[in-house]
Amino acid sequence: MMRLPPFTYRAPASVDEAVRILAGEGPSAAPVAGGTDLYPNMKRRHQTPKTLVALRGLRSLAEVRGTPEAGLRLGPGLTLTEVCEHPLVRAHYPGLARAVASISTPLLRNMGTLGGNICLDTRCTYYNQNYEWRQAINFCMKRDGEICWVAQSSPKCLAVNSSDSAPLLVALDARLRLASVRGERELPIEALYQNDGIRYLTKQPDELVTEILLPPASTDGAPGAWRATYWKLRRRGSFDFPVLGVAGCLWLDGPRVRSARLAIGGIASAPFRATETENLLAGHELTPERIDAAAKLVYRPTKPLDNTDFAVIWRKHMAEVYARRLLRELAGLPNDHGPIGAE
């Protein structure tokens, strides 16, 4: 049986108290809300914080504020179930509801939080094993070792970002608010991530995510109207992490695409934008021919590594397939298949 290592459990009464604890304890402290990722990682000795700063009791972090017209402000302490079942999210941000509903199982969505999924630890075949398994290969670069077993000459860890909410929020151009003892700062959620399996977040250890800021909701035909959705690939239609996630958001001027954002997840240590595809779509109508050409451009920058499920070359091919299906959905065109593994 895998057991948790010893730790001190702190339950602050406010965000201010929480950030003071994080600042005082330094790198040996970690925030925890649902704990669906952190606690298993602690049992496998991936992380061994000496102090856990509990956020579950901070109701200010678990609220939905704002209006669809001005943009919703989601608390990071909202459970994944609360996000995907919230009537305003379902009505005005259905792509986000779909992405979040595809995460894990109902039981874990009832515990896991939006902030936890946004800040999810990167994953890898050689890392997400118990301590004895990892010890048998002399560990890996991400924890206790020196070699990235995915590519032994790599100077950095190649573990992948497996968040389902992150690509969709990047496609939406959502923003984050962070708090620390130094004050608050706001940044595009895209800037939260960097392509390094160990240093995968730009958030500092003493910072807390306090809000996720969504753009104003869209009405078809209105100025600035947009549509967004998410397609997820995994072996089973439930529970599994993505081995590919394709998220897209199109801003429309009538039948023309004014601008586009496509984000690919489950491939690299950070979600990344398919900028060539975005540029090909901008200023044009979503014809089947334009969609086919745009989807083909997703193939080139998608470079899966052999550190998750399925064959690498097939995952690369499926990035083009899923991009085509996503764009056809946003264009209102029929698809031959539903989103494999998506809800």
Arithmetic mean of pLDDT, 216-228: 84
Paired tokens of 97: 């509801």
pLDDT tier for residue 169 given thresholds of 50, 70 and 90: very high
How far does Cα 149 stand from its chain's mean position?
A: 24
- Those residues with Cβ within 8 angstroms of residue 128's Cβ, 6 or more apart along the chain or in another chain: 44, 46
pLDDT score at 74: 98
C-alpha–C-alpha distance, residues 200 and 212, integer Å: 18
| CB contact at 8 A, 158 and 269 | yes
How far does Cα 122 stand from its chain's mean position?
A: 10
Q: What does residue 34 show for φ and ψ, rounded to 5 degrees?
A: -75, -35
pLDDT score at 120: 98
> How many other C-beta atoms can be found within 10 angstroms of the C-beta atom of residue 73?
17
Q: How many residues in total does the chain contain? A: 343
- Those residues with Cβ within 8 angstroms of residue 342's Cβ, 6 or more apart along the chain or in another chain: 98, 102, 230, 231, 232
Q: Is the pLDDT of residue 96 over 90?
A: yes
pLDDT score at 214: 98
- What the chain holds in terms of domains, given with CATH numbers, is 1-58 (3.30.43.10), 59-119+160-213 (3.30.465.10), 226-331 (3.30.390.50)
pLDDT 10s digits, 30-83? 999 999 999 999 999 999 999 999 999 999 999 999 999 999 999 999 999 999
Q: Is the pLDDT of residue 339 over 60?
A: no
pLDDT tier for residue 338 given thresholds of 50, 70 and 90: low
**Mean pLDDT of the chain, nearest integer:** 95
Q: What is the secondary structure of 85-145 as a DSSP string?
A: H-HHHHHH-HHHHHHHHTSS-HHHHHH-BHHHHHTPPPB-TTTSS-HHHHHHTT-BTTBB-
Q: How far is CA 233 from CA 83, 161, 315, 341, in A?
A: 21, 14, 9, 6
Three-state DSSP state, 207 = coil
